[in-house]
Structure 1
Amino acid sequence: MTPETATATATMATATMAAGIAQQEAATVPSTAVGALAVDDQVRWLQRAARDDTLAQLEDTKLVALFASLDPRALVRYIAAGPNGYDACEFTMRHRERIGGRWPKTPDHVLVRLAHDPLRLYARWLPDGAHAGQEVLYDAARRGDAMYGHAGGVFGVVSMWTRLDGAFARSQSHHRLTDLGTESIARQFLADFPRLADSGAAKPSQVAVQTRDGVRVVALTWDAPADASGLPASRETLGLDLRHPWFRTVQSYDGAGRLIEDVVIEHIEPKTFDAFTFDASNPDYRF
């Protein structure tokens, strides 16, 4: 090894050690000082604080102060680093959406079983919500453009194939069935954020802590400037999970301040499914 090579190697080792020390020091700073860290260190702090329950244990006022102090890019990088969901999971959600200008009196309450690679999905509308008894199945390996299902109620027992964006689906939601889950919310946020940033609205206009249907989240609100284009809502509040880099709640508003969508993923857990879970012949289903 030449003297020049030895010097370069020593310099690199010193820099690597210094970076490691800096990361370790950043991880131990209190929540009140996180906003002063570099963006990458803010991301690493959030990742550690989510894993070890630091975020979940913070008082409401400290959570609000923490997220108000962050560089807006830190949250984006935190969500982008993921994971934004489980490989396979079961969750329940409450959902309302304004369709044809009408706001439903009763939210849907839906049980969803979801697996990836390929995407497979089973959903059942529960008895205490709208469209009770409805069931749908989707398997990307079988038919990527269609779902199999039936409506709810006494007469909704005839199952059939319908397009993902067909009349049956659009009568209840502006979204596709395949948009269900935490991954889709994260993808939409990451797609929308550059437009907000370009319009000067990267930083949330409001930070709060909410507990909705038993789910405690940091609620981050963005107001879209009048000149922002391509955004799905004029105002949106996303509820960040305190233990994972994904969102559990969504509240979207139109230009008149009316709610146009309200989502709460109230319970979610990883699961291991067999093929029968996504089979219409499953005796637990009513296809």
Structure 2
Amino acid sequence: MTFCGFGISNHPVRRRTLPAAGWRTIARTLLHGLALTCLIVSMGAFAQSTSPIAPASSGTAAECANAVASDTVNADIEQFRCLPAREQAASLRTRIENHSILSLTDDQILALMDAMKPEAFVEYAKSDMIAEDAYEYSMFRQERISGRWPERPDHMLIRYQHSPRKVYAKWLPDGAHAGQEILYDETTDPKSMFGHLGGRLRLVSGKVAVDGPFAHAQSRHSVRDLGLQFIARTVEHDARSFREEGLSEKPGRIELMNAHGTRLLAWTWTAPSGPPAHYAPRVRLLFDLQHTWPCGEAAWDEQGGLLELIRFEDVVPRQWSESIFDRGNPEYGFR
């Protein structure tokens, strides 16, 4: 089973994390003039996945501003550490878009993540991860439905507009449920979608309730969740729950994974419970460091069993014409 091109095992072949002990050495190199208080905050970032990380105080920010770093990259990371959360999120997006993050070593990327304030992860998801309102992408998706894990993933083409919400989805030939199509337009009918099951059954197209049993026979999600913005909303929702529980919204585990020569940055949150407070007991987002949006998402239940495994590919911003969300489009198979 693969996830963004690598095995979903909790123990991939190559993985780089920043263990607690390692931070002491790195911190001494990076922060010659930094006070002991700031060092303790920095080293605790990855020491325990359940340890809350408090926002830096104004005194800490002043100390960080006067920190001395040993080289240009490390000086840049220390300047990043002292930015407000909103500016950190915008800076991370810029580093990904201009590909400067790719020039960093594994340890430098992990140091950059350690320097991010807990609120910055939420700000990034909310405002910088997905900037486009309309786009097309493909998705491989597997979900545990009624206790059963599917043998084959769905491979879907998604055409999406966030505001107002419009969705076209087609199940592609190399995946499960090949040939199915659905169309949703909240401006014409916010509570129903139009669809067919593919093959000979495409001759029978019709409306079904967005949140009815037929719509959820293959997925726990609504058609309205098919945009990447759903991930941003989930991060934001779970962050509120973490704060209410007295926990940090920062991912409890941040690591780099090597998949066939490509580095993937993984953010993993472990929650004390599942729904409704949290999306799932454990959630992981993967980034390929070449695009601002995630390349994959996975969720596990309390026993460590996979709930869903999703891979996103070929995200392309679009300016859709009216025909894209018209079931009369000759490209589609609706009848």
Q: 1:1-287 maps to which residues of 2 (within 5 A)?
A: 30=74, 32-33=77-78, 36-40=81-85, 41-82=87-128, 84-199=130-245, 200-210=247-257, 217-225=264-272, 230-240=277-287, 242=289, 245-287=292-334
- Amino acid paired to 1:96: Q
Structure 1 length as normaliser, TM-score?
Answer: 0.81
CA distance in 1, matches of 2:202, 2:164: 28
Query: 1: distance between equivalents of 2:188 and 2:170?
Result: 20
SS at 1:155 equivalent:
helix
Q: Which stretches in structure 1 are left out of the alignment for 5+ residues?
A: 1-21, 23-27
1:11 equivalent in structure 2: none
Judge conservation of contact 2:118–2:248 (CA < 8 Å) in 1. no
| In structure 2, C-alpha distance between the alignment counterparts of 1:90 and 1:145, rounded to whole Å | 23
Cα distance, 1:113 vs structure 2: 0.7
Kept after mapping to 2: 8 A contact 1:87/1:115? yes
1:214-241 Cα shifts (integer Å, max 9, x gaps): 9864210011125996112111101246
Matched residue SS, 1:239: strand
Is the contact made by 1:34 and 1:70 (CA closer than 8 Å) also made in structure 2? no
Give the aligned residue type for 1:284.
Answer: E
Alpha-carbon separation, structure 2, partners of 1:274 and 1:214? 39
Corresponding letter in the other structure for 1:37: C
Change beyond 3 A, Cα 1:207–1:278:
same
Deviations 1:151-178 (A, max 9, x none): 1344343110000011221101111001
User: Quick check: 1:213–1:264 contact (8 Å CA) kept in 2?
Assistant: no
> SS of 1:65's equivalent?
helix
1:230-279 deviation per Cα after TM superposition (whole angstroms, max 9, x unaligned): 11211110124635554332110000000101111111011122111111
Question: Which residue identity is paired with 2:250?
Answer: K
Cα distance between partner residues in 2 of 1:211 and 1:167: 40
- The alignment yields a C-alpha RMSD, in angstroms, of 2.7
Q: What is the SS of the residue equivalent to 1:170?
A: coil
Secondary structure in structure 1 of the residue aligned to 2:214: helix
Q: Distance in 2 between matches of 1:213 and 1:175?
A: 31
In 1: Cα distance, 2:297 partner to 2:89 partner: 22
Task: Name the TM-score, length of structure 2 as normaliser.
Answer: 0.70
Q: Once the 2 structures are TM-superposed, how far is the Cα of residue 211 of structure 1 from its aligned partner?
A: 6.8
Q: Which moved more, 1:232-241 or 1:92-101?
A: 232-241
Q: What letter corresponds to residue 250 of structure 1 in structure 2?
A: E
| Aligned 8 A contact 1:35 1:71 in 2 | no
CA contact 1:121–1:278 (8 Å) conserved in 2: yes
SS at match of 2:241: helix
Identity between Structure 1 and Structure 2 (%): 37
Q: Deviations over 1:169-192 (max 9, x none)?
A: 110111100101211110111111
